[in-house]
């Protein structure tokens, strides 16, 4: 698509949604055409705007996920004591993986659950107690791998022969299922347990972006030196953890990956089930890589509304076009600014229509909200550095560095990561 066509596409699309777009409200005095022209100049030069026709949109019916390719792994489970890392996203067609395996006579001794729990309903950051799977034919212990107990212990793995990992990730470094993958692999390597990853498509697997994590800022929202959006499926990432010896003490585990049929990194994948309570639709999934950075600021990302990770705001924000009031809801029982009127911006249409094709707008929103917040020195909190994976990004934004210069500062590390990433891909790349 040439620049003129991109310009016209942006112009007409933005005209249709202009009343709801945040970026039209924070650039005062600019005409719609000028805003489009600025976007065009700022992004096409780096091949950052991609045409809709460049992608194929896939649904669950178009692919065969690893869990459904039983001929590839079932024989490795028969007669073994099996532990499964799983939750509500681990479906074989429309049946949970645990129930499917039990119906086939597989002996599941333990279930390991990530953040949000086995049923995927707990609040972000909520402490989840160990429990039993009462839906299974015979109750199975559910061990939470979140909070202080985020890595299986020797006792947890006692009597286990093989660990199966099957979680639907969203391809963003600070989405904690990635850290769960790292720690479970590490435990398997240390305890000589076979580890099988049943792969699933990455809904944000069609681009790579953001600062690479500085390991001085390792936390459960970022353990490995990868960018915010790393463009890999769980199986590809597991291969990289092994191959680059990023597990503790450089250990490697006995890894088997069961790939997805019918998927490439050129595809957009529509999730069949929400991966966590506050990512209810694809608009939220596409916006999550950029909006989650606001959780390191005074800005709410809409937890406690019907559109989490699709709206942003706070009570004090100025020059805002939209209001919302967070309330207690399942998955967000005590949200930020509960019961308070927040002024902000509704980005739902941007996420649903454009974000999957025009990704790289992180700092436009961060800079705009910082500018419109009355106490700029109190805008960021200490969590921002963990989410960003570096202390440089906050300084760059506060000092007014241009988007182009911020991106240039990432390039050396991004280039190194892309070369590493390429070695472990299982699917055709974008």
Give the CATH number, domain containing residue 30: 3.90.1150
Residue 16 CA to residue 221 CA, distance in Å, equals 37
Same domain for 295 and 228 = no
Q: How many CB atoms lie within 10 A of CB 402?
A: 12
202 against 403, higher pLDDT: 202
Same domain for 233 and 105 = yes
222 forms beta bridges with 219
At residue 117 the predicted structure's pLDDT band, cuts being 50, 70 and 90, is confident
Q: Judging by DSSP bridges, how do beta strands 254-258 and 194-198 pair with one another?
A: parallel
Domain boundary, last residue among 234, 268, 302: 268
Residue 188 CA to residue 152 CA, distance in Å, equals 8
Within a domain: 54: no
Q: Which domain holds residue 188?
A: 60-268
- What's the pLDDT at 403? 85
- What's the pLDDT at 32? 33
Give the least confident one: 301-305, 310-314, 318-322: 318-322
- What's the pLDDT at 26? 36
- Count how many domains the chain has: 2
- What's the pLDDT at 362? 59
Residue 374 has pLDDT above 50, yes or no: yes
CA dist 156 to 116, 159, 196, 301, 313, Å? 20, 9, 17, 36, 42
Within a domain: 407: no
Arithmetic mean of pLDDT, 204-210:
93
CA dist 140 to 105, 120, 134, 135, Å? 14, 17, 8, 9
Within a domain: 282: yes
Same domain for 133 and 23 = no
Residue 355 has pLDDT above 80, yes or no: no
Arithmetic mean of pLDDT, 194-222:
96
Within a domain: 323: yes
Residues with Cβ within 8 Å of residue 71, at least 6 apart in sequence: none
Where does residue 83 rank: exposed (0-12), middle (13-18), buried (19+ CB within 10 A)? buried
- What's the pLDDT at 129? 53
- What's the pLDDT at 384? 97
CA dist 380 to 14, 43, 298, Å? 30, 27, 7
Same domain for 91 and 228 = yes
Question: Taking a C-beta distance cutoff of 8 angstroms, is the pair 264, 80 a contact?
Answer: no
pLDDT digit string, tens, across residues 15-28? 333 333 333 333 33
DSSP line for 198-213: E----TTTT--EEEEP
Phi, psi at 143, each rounded to 5°: -110, 120
- What's the pLDDT at 394? 96
Same domain for 186 and 102 = yes
335 against 349, higher pLDDT: 335
Helices assigned H by DSSP within 135-268: 177-191, 234-243
Q: Percent of the chain beyond pLDDT 70? A: 80
Same domain for 216 and 314 = no
Phi, psi at 317, each rounded to 5°: -65, 135
Give the CATH number, domain containing residue 248: 3.40.50.12170
pLDDT digit string, tens, across residues 155-177? 999 999 999 999 999 999 999 99
Same domain for 338 and 208 = no
Arithmetic mean of pLDDT, 213-228:
97
At residue 360 the predicted structure's pLDDT band, cuts being 50, 70 and 90, is low
At residue 397 the predicted structure's pLDDT band, cuts being 50, 70 and 90, is very high
Within a domain: 389: yes
Arithmetic mean of pLDDT, 412-425:
98
- What's the pLDDT at 287? 92
Short-list 291, 268, 290, 288, CA closest to 280: 288
Domain boundary, last residue among 228, 244, 268: 268
Within a domain: 293: yes
- What's the pLDDT at 127? 52
Same domain for 134 and 186 = yes
Give the least confident one: 9-13, 239-243, 297-301: 9-13
At residue 29 the predicted structure's pLDDT band, cuts being 50, 70 and 90, is very low
At residue 348 the predicted structure's pLDDT band, cuts being 50, 70 and 90, is confident
Within a domain: 55: no
Same domain for 109 and 127 = yes
- What's the pLDDT at 118? 87
Arithmetic mean of pLDDT, 30-48:
32
Give the least confident one: 78-92, 121-135, 215-229, 304-318: 121-135
Phi, psi at 216, each rounded to 5°: -70, -15
Residue 3 has pLDDT above 70, yes or no: no
- What's the pLDDT at 71? 97
Same domain for 300 and 187 = no
Same domain for 186 and 69 = yes
CA dist 292 to 5, 312, 355, 387, Å? 31, 10, 14, 8
Residue 50 has pLDDT above 80, yes or no: no
Domain boundary, last residue among 233, 268, 303: 268
Residue 143 CA to residue 197 CA, distance in Å, equals 19
Residue 107 CA to residue 383 CA, distance in Å, equals 41
At residue 53 the predicted structure's pLDDT band, cuts being 50, 70 and 90, is very low
Whole-prediction pTM: 0.86
45 against 195, higher pLDDT: 195
Same domain for 219 and 85 = yes
Within a domain: 146: yes
**Tokens, residue 156:** 């947890």
361 forms beta bridges with none
């Amino acid at each position: 698509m040439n620049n003129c066509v991109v310009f016209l596409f942006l112009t007409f699309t933005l005209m249709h949604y202009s009343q709801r777009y945040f970026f039209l409200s924070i650039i005062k005095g600019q005409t719609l055409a000028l805003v489009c022209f600025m976007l065009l100049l700022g992004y096409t030069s780096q091949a950052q705007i991609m045409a809709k026709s460049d992608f194929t949109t896939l649904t669950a019916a178009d692919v065969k996920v690893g869990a459904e390719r039983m001929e590839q792994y079932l024989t490795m489970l028969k007669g073994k004591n099996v532990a499964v890392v799983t939750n509500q996203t681990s479906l074989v067609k429309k049946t949970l993986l645990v129930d499917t395996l039990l119906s086939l006579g597989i002996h599941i001794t333990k279930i390991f659950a990530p953040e949000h729990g086995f049923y995927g309903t707990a609040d972000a950051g909520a402490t989840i107690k160990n429990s039993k799977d009462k839906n299974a034919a015979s109750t199975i212990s559910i061990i939470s791998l979140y909070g202080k107990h985020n890595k299986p212990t020797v006792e947890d793995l006692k009597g286990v022969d093989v660990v199966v990992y099957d979680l639907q990730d969203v391809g963003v470094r600070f989405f904690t299922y990635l850290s769960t993958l790292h720690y479970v692999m590490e435990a398997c390597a240390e305890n000589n347990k076979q580890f099988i990853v049943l792969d699933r498509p990455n809904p944000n697997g069609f681009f790579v972006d953001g600062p690479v994590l500085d390991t001085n800022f390792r936390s459960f929202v970022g353990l490995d030196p990868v960018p915010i959006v790393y463009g890999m499926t769980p199986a590809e990432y597991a291969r990289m953890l092994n191959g680059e010896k990023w597990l503790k003490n450089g250990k490697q585990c006995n890894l088997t990956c069961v790939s997805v049929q019918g998927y490439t990194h050129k595809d957009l994948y529509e999730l069949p089930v929400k991966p966590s309570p506050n990512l209810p639709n694809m608009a939220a999934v596409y916006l999550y890589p950029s909006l989650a950075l606001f959780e390191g600021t005074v800005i709410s990302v809409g937890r406690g509304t019907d559109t989490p990770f699709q709206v942003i705001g706070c009570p004090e924000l100025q020059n805002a076009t939209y209001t919302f009031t967070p309330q207690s809801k399942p998955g967000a029982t005590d949200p930020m600014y509960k019961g308070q009127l927040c002024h902000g911006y509704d980005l739902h249409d941007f996420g649903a229509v454009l974000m999957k094709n025009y990704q790289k707008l992180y700092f436009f929103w961060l800079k705009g909200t910082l500018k419109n917040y009355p106490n700029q020195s109190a805008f960021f909190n200490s969590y921002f550095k963990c989410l960003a994976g570096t202390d440089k990004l906050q300084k760059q934004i506060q000092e007014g560095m241009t988007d182009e210069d911020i991106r240039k500062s990432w390039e050396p590390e991004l280039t190194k990561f892309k070369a590493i990433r390429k070695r472990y891909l299982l699917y055709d790349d974008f």
